[in-house]
Amino acid sequence: MVMNFLKRFYVYILFVFLYAPIVVLMVLSFNNSRLRGSWDGFTLRWYIELFQDRQILTSLYYTIAVAVLSSAIATIIGTAAAIGIHNLHGFKKNLIMNVTYIPVLNPDIVTGVALMILFIFLRLRLGFLTMLLAHITFNIPYVILSVLPKLKQLNNNLYEAALDLGATPWYALQKVIIPQIMPGILTGFLFAFTLSIDDFVISFFTTGSGVSNLSITVFSMARRGVNPKINALSTLMFLTVLILLIIVNLRMSKDKNGKGGGNGKNKEISLGARDSSGGGGGLLRI
């Protein structure tokens, strides 16, 4: 009994640690005073200012645009690549898988500077395009790693049967393989999307010419000191995430297909866990 109480208490303390800073930011976002020490009445002023801030709005646009485009393109390239890799064997397969693990294992900052060197070397103007290319590059591996397990579960006979019945390979791919690996493709897409939305380091090195995403804008604002507009932004982002998660969770528990359980991020992290631990094995296989 006492033990149980202690256990609960411990977990609640950790929750306080995790949530306190966020709650404080949320409360301060309604504080009329610019200084953080004193409560000076309730206000929505910072929210209004937030929506008038051109820099924040354009960076929000760039964040979403890059996330949508890069995850869509990465999903297409990555799914195609996964199907190809699935049919490879031996040395070639190992080689390609090891290359695939590079962006996963490489520290973000190294990926960032390496891509920056490449873009400057190619004389590309750093900006939207280069940031998009960088995001696609770090997204593809996650799509491949989400789709491959689904391909392994696939019954190869079905595809063969389709061919025997006169389907062209393209038709068979479309009608037989793609529908079956769809959950993997979707996971990959979502995974890529969240990584892209959240990225700071790689974007930081690969963008320029006034194009910045939300993370970079927050970084430059945070370097100028405490700013209540950031508090308002945090509150909105936290609520968005909360609502999204609740929706996803409700849907998941509705169609309870048992596997995975929990929410998207849960999957993401466990996937991440597999990446880093299994990845070493992959690299050492060479």
Partner 1 sequence: MKKATLSPYILWSSLFIIVPLLLVVYYSVTIETPEGIELSLENFKKFFEPIYLKVLWRSIILALISTVICLILGYPAALILAGKSFKRSNTLIMLFMLPMWMNFLLRTYAWLTLLEKNGLVNMIFQAIGLQPLNILYTETAVILGMVYNFLPFMVLPIYSVVSKIDRSIIEAAEDLGANSLIVFLRIILPLSIPGVVSGITMVFMPAVTTFVISRLLGGGQFMLIGNLIEQQFLFVGDWGFGSAISVVMILVILVSIGFMSRFENEEQGGRLW
Partner 2 sequence: MLVILAVVVAGFYVFRDNRETIYVFNWGDYIDESVISRFEKETGIKVVYDVFSTNEDMYVKIQAGGSSYDVAFPSDYMIKRMIDEDMLEKINFDNVPNYKYVDERFKDLDFDPNNEYSVPYFWGTVGILYNTAMVDEEVDSWDILWDKKYEKQILMLDSQRDSIGVALLKLGYSLNTKDIAQLEEAGELLKQQKPLVLAYVVDEVKDKMVAGEAALAVVWSGDAVQGMAENENLAYAIPKSGTNMWVDSMVIPKGAKNKEGAEKFINFMLSTEIAYLNTKHVMYSTPHTEAKKMLDEWILNNPAAYPSDEALENTETFQALGDVLREYDRIWTEVKAR
The residues that touch partner 2, with contacts defined as CB under 8 A, are 35-36, 54, 58, 61, 64-65, 68-69, 72, 116, 119-120, 123-127, 130, 208-211, 220, 223-226
d(CA 200, CA 220): 12
| Token pair listed for 73 | 């393109």
58 binds, among partner 2, partner 1, none (CB under 5 to 8 A by kind): partner 2
Check: CB of residue 102 under 8 Å from CB of residue 195: no
- Whose Cβ is closer to partner 1: residue 54's or residue 223's? 223
Check: CB of residue 206 under 8 Å from CB of residue 116: yes
Q: SS3 string of 23-65?
A: HHHHHHCCECCCCCCCCCCECCHHHHHHHHCHHHHHHHHHHHH
- Whose Cβ is closer to partner 2: residue 3's or residue 35's? 35
32 binds, among partner 2, partner 1, none (CB under 5 to 8 A by kind): none
- Whose Cβ is closer to partner 1: residue 186's or residue 245's? 245
CA 110-230-218 angle, to 5 degrees, is 20
| Token pair listed for 89 | 């064997």
- Whose Cβ is closer to partner 1: residue 4's or residue 257's? 4
Check: CB of residue 254 under 8 Å from CB of residue 246: no
98 binds, among partner 2, partner 1, none (CB under 5 to 8 A by kind): none
- Whose Cβ is closer to partner 2: residue 123's or residue 254's? 123
Nearest distance in Å: CB 117, partner 1: 5
Nearest distance in Å: CB 212, partner 2: 8
262 binds, among partner 1, partner 2, none (CB under 5 to 8 A by kind): partner 1
Check: CB of residue 104 under 8 Å from CB of residue 142: yes
135 binds, among partner 2, partner 1, none (CB under 5 to 8 A by kind): none
d(CA 216, CA 54): 14
Nearest distance in Å: CB 99, partner 2: 25
